[in-house]
């Protein structure tokens, strides 16, 4: 804490200046608040009629559900109607986002940082090289992502993949994993982390640390809360016995074990950890689970299920978040330089990056123009330079898992030390000391290699079926 105070002293104003900033802080969240009301409450949602005659009111929850539809015409209807409605409010969303960008630039100037990226990363002492390397490596390795899209097109049986073809599952499965089986699969998967980790998790699972099943009025998704220092972590799940639920179970217990180990190893002031390391613990567990499931799978169909979900996880957690990060850097940089942006400008900027990442020009994925409004749908953009950490975390998690699975006790101990350390050290330095330098190309090259290895196996299975 003292180091943080001294380190950020050049960016700290005198008492009067900090008081003025605090007062203005009460009013500078207006753009975000306005966005939240429009996007979540006041938006007049369209209605579409699906192929089975069902009429659906396309709010955000319905869009999330029906974009997975097996009927391609229904997916197109859903995308066209949903994004068309966002397009109707392009100017308003443009104003709220631009005002937020201006606010960030104002704080950057007042605190005497060279740019908004440096200011955002400085709280956790993250070098901008981490961000720059992530974007550079992602852009240089887009052929890996495009290879996945070509595999997706073949599996779905379409000649031209469109953006509305991104979400349907590659493999349909009726395999069920009751919660007790899911727990055992997770416990078996984390055995490479050593007996202490596994035994602690085994004991924790005997107690009611998690609410497992969905029920009326329960919030959706999954979540871990480990902020109560003297109390065990709490987990919220909506377990429905499919493989995704097992993967989510392992993911959330990765967070829980991170909190447990940090709380039992650090004093209160150093136990809490930043997002930069938080998602490493969860994605490492996911990688260990995938390795275990592939080892015990009995059929090619089962392997395809696990491999397909792993691919989609790499798309959404690495490539999609890196794409978002690319867009964030572009718009923040423009506003830092004094450029004004309208909703039309922002849509064009996002559309250019979206098309680049999906190979629109090369004919890999066709991006229809209404879908370039997607930037307005992402609430994380109002929390500047946040989402890139999902991409860096899965890269680090994949690299840690690969080393741990080689059976090297030293690699395992270095990883566990990251978890035990909590927030006692700056996160980039902590992860680097454990052997993963996220400012270097190595972790990103490792995740591209992992993705290509998964695709190699999928194509080998497909070749056997011809």
Cα–Cα distance for residue pair 271/368, rounded to 1 Å: 47
- 209: how many CB neighbours lie within 10 A of its CB? 16
Which residues are designated catalytic? 252
Question: What single-letter DSSP state applies at residue 42?
Answer: I
Q: What are φ and ψ of residue 141, in 5° steps?
A: -115, 25
Cα–Cα distance for residue pair 422/274, rounded to 1 Å: 8
Cα–Cα distance for residue pair 206/226, rounded to 1 Å: 18
Structure tokens at 129: 């090289």
**Where does residue 234 rank: exposed (0-12), middle (13-18), buried (19+ CB within 10 A)?**
middle
Structure tokens at 377: 């749908």
Q: Helical H runs in 58-127?
A: 60-66, 72-87, 90-110, 116-122
- 339: how many CB neighbours lie within 10 A of its CB? 12
Element (H, E) at 211: strand 210-211
CA 172, 178, 180 angle in degrees (round to 5)?
145
* Distance from the Cα of residue 160 to its chain's centroid: 27
- Smallest CA-to-CA distance from 25 within 42, 38, 13 is with 13
- 45: how many CB neighbours lie within 10 A of its CB? 15
Cα–Cα distance for residue pair 245/307, rounded to 1 Å: 15
- Smallest CA-to-CA distance from 395 within 284, 271, 233 is with 284
Structure tokens at 133: 């390397």
Q: What are φ and ψ of residue 190, in 5° steps?
A: -90, 5
List the end-to-end C-alpha distance of the chain, in Å, as a whole number. 62
- Angular region, 455: left φ>0, alpha ψ -120 to 50, beta rest: alpha
């Amino acid at each position: 804490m003292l180091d943080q105070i001294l380190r950020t002293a050049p960016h700290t104003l005198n008492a009067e200046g900090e008081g003025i900033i605090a007062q203005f802080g009460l009013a500078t969240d207006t753009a975000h608040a306005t966005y939240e009301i429009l996007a979540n409450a006041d938006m007049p949602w369209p209605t579409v009629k699906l192929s089975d005659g069902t009429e659906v009111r396309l709010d955000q929850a319905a869009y999330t559900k029906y974009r997975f539809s097996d009927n391609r015409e229904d997916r197109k209807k859903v995308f066209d109607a949903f994004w068309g409605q966002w397009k109707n409010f392009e100017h308003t969303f443009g104003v709220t986002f631009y005002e937020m960008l201006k606010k960030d630039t104002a704080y950057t100037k007042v605190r005497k940082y060279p740019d908004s990226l440096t200011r955002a990363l400085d709280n956790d002492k993250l070098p901008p090289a981490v961000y720059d390397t992530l974007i550079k490596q992602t852009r240089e390795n887009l052929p890996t992502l495009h290879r996945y899209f070509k595999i997706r097109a073949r599996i779905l049986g379409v000649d031209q993949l469109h953006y509305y073809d991104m979400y349907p599952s590659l493999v349909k499965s009726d395999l069920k994993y009751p919660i007790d089986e899911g727990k055992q699969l997770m416990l078996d998967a984390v055995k490479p982390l050593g007996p202490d980790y596994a035994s602690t998790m085994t004991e924790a699972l005997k107690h009611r640390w998690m609410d497992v099943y969905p029920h009326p009025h329960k919030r959706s998704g999954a979540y871990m809360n480990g902020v109560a220092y003297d109390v065990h972590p709490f987990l919220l799940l909506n377990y429905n016995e499919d493989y995704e639920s097992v993967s989510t179970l392992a993911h959330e217990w990765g967070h829980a074990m991170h909190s447990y180990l940090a709380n039992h190893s650090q004093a209160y002031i150093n136990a809490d950890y930043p997002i930069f390391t938080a998602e490493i613990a969860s994605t490492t567990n996911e990688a260990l689970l995938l390795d275990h499931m592939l080892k015990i799978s009995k059929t090619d169909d089962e392997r395809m299920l696990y491999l397909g979900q792993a691919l989609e996880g790499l798309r959404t957690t690495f490539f999609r978040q890196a794409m978002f990060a690319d867009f964030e850097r572009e718009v923040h940089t423009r506003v830092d330089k004094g450029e004004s942006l309208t909703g039309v400008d922002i849509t064009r900027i996002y559309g250019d990056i979206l098309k680049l990442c999906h190979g629109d020009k090369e004919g890999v994925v066709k991006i229809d123009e209404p879908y370039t409004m997607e930037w307005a749908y992402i609430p994380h953009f109002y929390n500047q330079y946040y989402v890139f950490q999902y991409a860096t975390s899965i890269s680090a998690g994949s690299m840690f898992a690969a080393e741990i699975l080689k059976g090297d006790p030293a690699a395992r101990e270095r990883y566990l030390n990251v978890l035990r350390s909590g927030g006692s050290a700056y996160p980039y330095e902590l992860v680097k000391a454990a052997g993963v330098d996220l400012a270097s190309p190595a972790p990103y090259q490792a995740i591209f290699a992992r993705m290509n290895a998964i695709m190699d196996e999928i194509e080998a299975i497909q070749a056997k079926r011809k």
